[in-house]
Chains A and B, each alone.
Chain A
Amino acid sequence: MEIPYTVTPRRDTGLYNAKVGIWLFLASEVMLFGALFSSYVLLRVGADKWPHGLLNIPIGTFNTAVLITSSVTVVMAWASLKLHQFNKFKIYMTATILCALAFVGIKTIEYKDKFTHYSVRLADGRTMDGHIKGSPLFWSLKKLKDKNVETIEFAPDAAHGAAAAAHGAEAAKPAAHAAGEHQFEIIKVSDLTYLSAYVPSHNTYFAIYFTLTGLHAAHVIGGALVMTYILLFGGKMWRTQPDRLTNRVEVAGLFWHFVDLVWIFLFPVLYLL
């Protein structure tokens, strides 16, 4: 006996096997991200103060648009197969994968911005956020002392004027940075009591930010890999079992919509609220 309903739907459930499978899988994914979102709420409610305005909203908005576009193109890819237009399918699928890559690329730039953005506390109690000259990655006080670095050149964010400290400071910065408007002040390492980039261990906000977006990015990459596989090796299946390929694209598309949906929640929760 062969396994039935791999391609055609079962009569009483109206579904083929893989579709049942993916919906069940997505249910568990909802619980996974649901648990992380719940943790976010619990941590934020329990925090004395919660950082705000540290992320780059225009870039985040752009990335949201990229992901929504990819959700449209993946539906178009599936619809093209339903209409038996394999060439159109290839175009739309490629567009979807490119969007996924663009999203991950932009996310990487955003991550790098965070990893070169520092928070320092001086022995006299002053705390400052800003950049270190040369934009080094992942410096810590321990690392500096191990390397016997005596001074750092530090440009506080406040150097951009009063407006920079307020909402949207991050957005103005890359331009200012490029123009070389940073005013570096020299700080002795021995005066520092704390130095950390915007990394997960810096505070709970960045911890949950990197965990949530990192896990989401892993899903984007996973989805992109599956779709690349379908694109590269789907031609053969299209000639022998076109319905099966169409179903595969539909299932991959359902997963992709879910990944998109998670971001739709992530963006306001982490960037805007």
Chain B
Amino acid sequence: MAETHATTHTAHEAHAHHELPFMRKYIFSTDHKVIGIQYGITALCFLLFGFLLMAAMRWQMAYPNDPIPVVGGLLQKALGEDMVASKTVEKVNPDGTKTEVKIPGIMTPDLYNAFGAMHGTIMVFLAIVPLAFGAFGNFVVPLQIGAPDMVFPRINMVSYQCYFGGGVVMLASFFIPGGAAKSGWTSYSPLASIADLSHRIDGQTFWLIGMVLLITSSLLGAVNFIATIIQLRAKGMSWMRLPFFVWAQFVTGFLLLLAFPPLEAAGVMQLMDNVFDTSFFLPSGLVIAGQTIDVSGGGSPLLWQHLFWFLGHPEVYVLILPAMGIVAEIIACNTRKPLWGYKALVHSVLAIGFLSFIVWAHHMYLTGMGTKISTFFQTTTMIISIPSVIILTALFLSLWGGSIRFNTPMLFALAFLPMFGIGGLTGLPLGFNASDILLHDTYYVIAHFHYVVAPGTIFGLMAGIYYWYPKATGRFMNEFWGRVHFVLSFVFMNLVFGPMFLQGLAGMLRRMSDGGATYSITNSPGVEGALSEFVIHLNRDISRAAWLLGLAQIPFIINFFWSLKHGKKIESDNPWQATTLEWQTPTPPPHGNFNKEPEVHRGPYDYSVPGAKTDFSPQNQPI
């Protein structure tokens, strides 16, 4: 006993010797697990911030030109009276005289546009991608392949810092004269170049600089991930023994690596247009407010759209693939049986990766680029739905005959399947040229891609948080409040995005700062195709559901922090009885991850192997 005590004591001393100072350990860390957590926390903050922007916009849509309650005055103080107007009301005093009172908080169309553009930008580039790729990829991938760390730890750190810097630039843009970028997250030129002509350095410039930093961050991250997966797989970890999550991250890495640079090129050109008055995207004879603007002209607005969507479409798969990977891991673990069709899953994800580079112009059917090109992209778009359906089908079939454990991560993972299914299938009418002409730029599009990303990807990511939380902290998150979080999120997500399909089919366009009220039958009586009162009133119902969805996240936030100290302690390093390598390390994994280099003997999902003592056989267990 005394001997063991002595050994632990010396071991502890040796450990203390390597203890890094606080700054090196938590702020400028090169440890992939710490960087993963940094990514995760920052991205969750941005996720909340992006949601709050939308919550404010939903007020303006539900009650156009009414001051925003509670925070209206605060918004006006922060963003200025140009952005947040006041409503003047007459108040009758007790003595019968009347005084005018100003109630601050009306969202101006400019602010609505800025919030809309930044909601999209923040959600895609600062919340979902960093959470899916930066956080889960960093924390889980090296552990799952049996590596001591990422292959380039210092580049990994710089990657996070670039992301953080990009986030700061984006946030700062709200407070500069003229406000943040207002031309949508797609920043279509020439709108993006002429939206704010009174300031040379405007919100759009900030947006572009922020994007360059974010692109640098994902570029460094992508190089690091791909090189790590190629070089640092443990002994015996052959390609077909990689967990599906690693495959998903591998393909995601390639998408980021090859799709982002064209946007960087486009960003540089738009920066030239905005700051040095070039005309890359400005056509000849562009007229603003009755005057031809003083530029050389000869540019092509279509060029921006091609370059943007060359990134934009692979980006959609960057958003979805990591979530698919997480869901696959959780389903295999909680059905206690191997994934159905592992090889088909791997080949499908590779096919998606390749095809996603040749579908981009299906976002551009209405630009007049020509019917032959449209036909090509319509065909490839239909083809890419095949591997997506294979993946979804394989995951559904994996449930067949399993003895399913319905814990919180599994509930989120199961909900991912139908939600992503709805998102994917409603995309088909948008992929067809003929039906897209009708649906383009309506709320149908909004509903479609939010079903993919919000109840789809975010549910997948939530599942991942509940699933890997014990690995990072040594404690479970509270199961009851996890379920409350799940049920409420599930209900409100559908109440928010379901009715939008209806609004879109009724012809309600997106990006209207009054939620379409101008085109309602009340305000435009007798106009063909005006929106009915029912469609307009849905705005209020959707808004209420959206705010309740926000409240439904409170159990999660409290649970997340409360469980750090008070959650149920795990009883072993492998609390879910999983097979993959991340569960075969101490908890939380030390610097260097594994006490000795693991050797892999079997595939990733050896659950319920006939004749085995337990219903799971870890990858490093000899056959």
Q: What string of 1s and 0s marks CB contacts (under 8 Å) between A1-42 and chain B?
A: 111110000100101010011001101110111111001001
Q: Is B426 an interface residue, CB under 8 A from the partner?
A: no
Complex contact A28–B258 (CB within 8 A): yes
Q: Please determine whether A24 and B226 come into contact, CB atoms closer than 8 angstroms.
A: yes
Which residue in B152, B230, B262, B269 is a CB contact (below 8 Å) of A13? Answer: B230
A208 in contact (CB, < 8 A):
yes
Known: A13-B231, A28-B260, A207-B272. Is A35-B280 also a contact (CB below 8 A)?
A: no
A223 to B258 alpha-carbon distance, docked (Å):
21
Question: How far does the Cβ of A24 sit from chain B's closest Cβ, in whole Å?
Answer: 5
**B278 and A35 form a contact (CB under 8 A):** no
- Using A24-B226, A28-B257, A201-B277 as known contacts, say yes or no to A42 and B303 having CB atoms under 8 A apart: yes
Quick check: is A43 within 8 A (CB to CB) of the other chain? yes
| Residue of A whose beta carbon sits closest to that of B224 | A21
Residues of A within 8 A of B231 (CB): 4-5, 10, 13, 15, 17, 20
Q: Which residue on chain A has the smallest CB distance to residue B265?
A: A35
Contact pick for A201, options B155, B278, B307, CB 8 Å: B278
A204 at the binding interface (Cβ < 8 Å): yes
**A168 in the interface (beta carbon within 8 A):** no
**Is the Cβ of B262 less than 8 Å from the Cβ of A31?**
yes
Which residues of the partner chain B approach A172 to less than 8 Å between Cβ atoms? none
- Asked whether any CB of chain B lies closer than 8 Å to the CB of A261, the reply is no
CA of A96 to CA of B232, assembled, Å: 34
* B266 partner residues in chain A, CB cutoff 8 A: 35, 39
Question: Which of B65-73, B196-204, B398-406, B592-600 is the interface stretch?
Answer: B592-600
Contact A207 B223 (CB under 8 A): no
With beta carbons under 8 angstroms apart, the residue of A13, A21, A203 that contacts B296 is A203
Residues of B within 8 A of A35 (CB): 261-262, 264-266, 307, 310
A215 proximal to B (CB < 8 A):
yes
1/0 per residue, CB under 8 A from A, across B452-483: the answer is: 00000000000000000000000000000000
Give the distance to chain B from A147, nearest Cβ to Cβ, in Å.
Answer: 19
A-B Cβ contacts below 8 A, count: 129
* B299 within 8 Å of A (CB atoms): yes
Tell me if B280 and A3 are in contact (CB < 8 A).
no
Nearest-Cβ distance from residue B219 to partner chain A, whole angstroms: 6
Contact B232 A211 (CB under 8 A): no
Main secondary structure of the interface of B (DSSP, over half): helix
Residues of A within 8 A of B151 (CB): 3, 17, 20-21
In angstroms, Cα B231 to Cα A17, docked, is 7
The residue in chain B whose Cβ has the minimal distance to the Cβ of A1 is B148
Which among A3, A15, A28, A204 is the interface contact of B278 at CB below 8 angstroms? A204
What 1/0 flags go to B288-330 for Cβ under 8 Å of A? Answer: 0000000110111001001100100000000000000000000
Partner of B265 from the list A15, A39, A48, A204 (CB cut-off 8 Å) is A39
Per the bound structure, the CA–CA distance linking A32 and B231 in Å amounts to 25
A39 to B151 Cα, complex, angstroms: 35
Answer yes or no: A82 CB below 8 A from chain B CBs: no
With an 8 A cutoff between CB atoms, is A53 at the interface?
no
CB distance from B284 to the nearest CB of A (A): 8
A32 to B262, CA, bound (A): 5
> Which 7 residue pairs across A and B have the least CB separation, nearest first?
A1-B148, A35-B262, A32-B261, A35-B265, A207-B278, A201-B277, A31-B261
- Contacts A32-B262, A203-B298 known; 10 new A-B pairs at CB < 8 A: A24-B223, A28-B260, A31-B257, A39-B303, A43-B298, A43-B300, A47-B298, A48-B298, A201-B277, A204-B296
Q: Residues of B at under 8 Å CB distance from A?
A: 147-149, 151-153, 155, 219, 222-224, 226-227, 230-232, 257-262, 264-266, 268-269, 272, 276-280, 295-296, 298-300, 303, 306-307, 310, 592-594, 596-597
7 contacts between A and B (CB under 8 A): A28-B260, A31-B259, A31-B262, A39-B280, A43-B303, A46-B300, A200-B276
Q: Which residues of A contact B (CB under 8 A)?
A: 1-5, 10, 13, 15, 17, 20-21, 24-25, 27-29, 31-36, 39, 42-43, 46-48, 199-204, 207-208, 211, 215
